[in-house]
Amino acid sequence: EPEVTQTPSHQVTQMGQEVILRCVPISNHLYFYWYRQILGQKVEFLVSFYNNEISEKSEIFDDQFSVERPDGSNFTLKIRSTKLEDSAMYFCASSGELGTDTQYFGPGTRLTVL
Protein backbone atom coordinates (compact mmCIF):
# COMPACT_ATOMS: atom_id res chain seq x y z
CA GLU A 1 0.00 0.00 0.00
CA PRO A 2 1.41 3.41 -0.92
CA GLU A 3 2.51 5.54 2.00
CA VAL A 4 3.93 8.94 2.84
CA THR A 5 7.53 8.83 4.00
CA GLN A 6 9.49 11.40 5.95
CA THR A 7 13.17 11.92 6.66
CA PRO A 8 14.87 12.21 9.01
CA SER A 9 12.89 10.55 11.77
CA HIS A 10 14.66 12.70 14.34
CA GLN A 11 16.53 15.97 13.82
CA VAL A 12 18.47 17.72 16.55
CA THR A 13 19.66 21.25 15.87
CA GLN A 14 20.97 24.31 17.62
CA MET A 15 18.80 27.37 18.03
CA GLY A 16 19.24 29.72 15.10
CA GLN A 17 20.19 27.00 12.64
CA GLU A 18 18.28 26.19 9.50
CA VAL A 19 16.60 22.82 9.13
CA ILE A 20 14.96 21.13 6.18
CA LEU A 21 12.43 18.39 6.78
CA ARG A 22 11.75 16.12 3.85
CA CYS A 23 8.68 14.27 2.74
CA VAL A 24 7.81 12.00 -0.15
CA PRO A 25 4.03 12.12 -0.64
CA ILE A 26 2.02 9.35 -2.26
CA SER A 27 2.95 9.44 -5.90
CA ASN A 28 -0.39 10.28 -7.54
CA HIS A 29 -1.47 12.79 -4.91
CA LEU A 30 -1.72 16.44 -5.79
CA TYR A 31 -2.22 18.16 -2.44
CA PHE A 32 0.41 18.33 0.23
CA TYR A 33 0.33 19.50 3.82
CA TRP A 34 2.52 20.08 6.83
CA TYR A 35 1.28 19.80 10.40
CA ARG A 36 3.04 19.95 13.70
CA GLN A 37 2.35 18.57 17.14
CA ILE A 38 4.08 20.06 20.15
CA LEU A 39 4.48 17.46 22.86
CA GLY A 40 1.23 16.95 24.73
CA GLN A 41 -0.73 19.27 22.49
CA LYS A 42 -2.97 18.89 19.48
CA VAL A 43 -1.98 18.42 15.87
CA GLU A 44 -1.88 21.86 14.23
CA PHE A 45 -2.13 22.74 10.56
CA LEU A 46 0.80 24.69 9.13
CA VAL A 47 0.43 24.90 5.36
CA SER A 48 -1.12 23.31 2.30
CA PHE A 49 0.44 23.22 -1.15
CA TYR A 50 -0.99 22.60 -4.60
CA ASN A 51 0.25 23.20 -8.10
CA ASN A 52 3.57 24.54 -6.81
CA GLU A 53 1.91 27.17 -4.68
CA ILE A 54 0.86 27.60 -1.09
CA SER A 55 -2.92 27.35 -1.07
CA GLU A 56 -3.48 28.02 2.60
CA LYS A 57 -1.35 28.66 5.67
CA SER A 58 -1.96 29.14 9.36
CA GLU A 59 -0.73 31.96 11.56
CA ILE A 60 1.97 29.62 12.81
CA PHE A 61 3.51 29.54 9.33
CA ASP A 62 5.41 32.82 9.52
CA ASP A 63 8.33 34.12 7.49
CA GLN A 64 10.68 31.64 9.15
CA PHE A 65 8.93 28.81 7.36
CA SER A 66 8.93 27.93 3.69
CA VAL A 67 7.87 24.95 1.61
CA GLU A 68 9.08 23.68 -1.69
CA ARG A 69 8.55 20.86 -4.11
CA PRO A 70 12.03 20.80 -5.63
CA ASP A 71 11.34 17.84 -7.90
CA GLY A 72 8.53 15.50 -8.82
CA SER A 73 8.64 13.51 -5.62
CA ASN A 74 9.92 15.51 -2.64
CA PHE A 75 8.06 18.06 -0.55
CA THR A 76 10.16 19.99 1.95
CA LEU A 77 9.58 22.23 4.94
CA LYS A 78 12.37 24.65 5.76
CA ILE A 79 12.70 26.51 9.03
CA ARG A 80 15.16 29.28 8.46
CA SER A 81 16.27 30.12 11.98
CA THR A 82 14.99 27.63 14.50
CA LYS A 83 13.70 28.64 17.91
CA LEU A 84 13.30 26.52 21.02
CA GLU A 85 9.54 26.58 20.58
CA ASP A 86 9.87 24.98 17.14
CA SER A 87 10.61 21.68 18.89
CA ALA A 88 7.76 19.38 17.88
CA MET A 89 6.73 16.45 15.72
CA TYR A 90 6.26 17.58 12.14
CA PHE A 91 3.89 15.54 10.01
CA CYS A 92 3.63 15.66 6.26
CA ALA A 93 0.37 14.58 4.61
CA SER A 94 -0.96 14.26 1.10
CA SER A 95 -4.31 13.78 -0.55
CA GLY A 96 -5.60 13.16 -4.03
CA GLU A 97 -8.30 15.78 -3.91
CA LEU A 98 -9.42 18.63 -1.72
CA GLY A 99 -12.52 18.64 0.41
CA THR A 100 -13.48 15.35 1.92
CA ASP A 101 -10.65 13.34 0.46
CA THR A 102 -8.65 11.56 3.12
CA GLN A 103 -5.29 12.98 4.02
CA TYR A 104 -2.61 10.35 4.48
CA PHE A 105 0.02 11.18 7.05
CA GLY A 106 3.67 10.30 7.20
CA PRO A 107 5.30 8.95 10.37
CA GLY A 108 6.64 12.37 11.32
CA THR A 109 9.98 13.99 12.04
CA ARG A 110 10.79 14.81 15.63
CA LEU A 111 12.59 18.16 15.68
CA THR A 112 14.53 19.03 18.81
CA VAL A 113 15.95 22.54 19.04
CA LEU A 114 18.61 22.99 21.72
Q: What is the DSSP letter of 99?
A: T
Q: Which of 56, 68, 96, 112 binds other proteins (CB under 8 A)?
A: 56
Number of residues that bind other proteins (CB under 8 A): 25
48 contributes a contact to other proteins by CB under 8 A: yes
Reference 21, options 94, 105, 92, 73; nearest CA is 92
59-88 residues in contact with other proteins (CB under 8 A) are none
105 contributes a contact to other proteins by CB under 8 A: yes
Query: β-pairing, 104-105 with 88-95?
Result: antiparallel
Sheet (strand 5-7) strand order:
5-7, 19-24, 75-79, 65-68
Q: What is the DSSP letter of 103?
A: P
Alpha carbons 21 and 78: distance in angstroms, whole number: 6
CB of 10 to other proteins, least distance (A): 10
25 contributes a contact to other proteins by CB under 8 A: no
Nearer residue to other proteins within complex by CB, 4 or 19: 4
**Residues near other proteins, by CB under 8 A:** 4, 6, 31, 33, 41-45, 48, 56, 91, 93, 95, 98-108
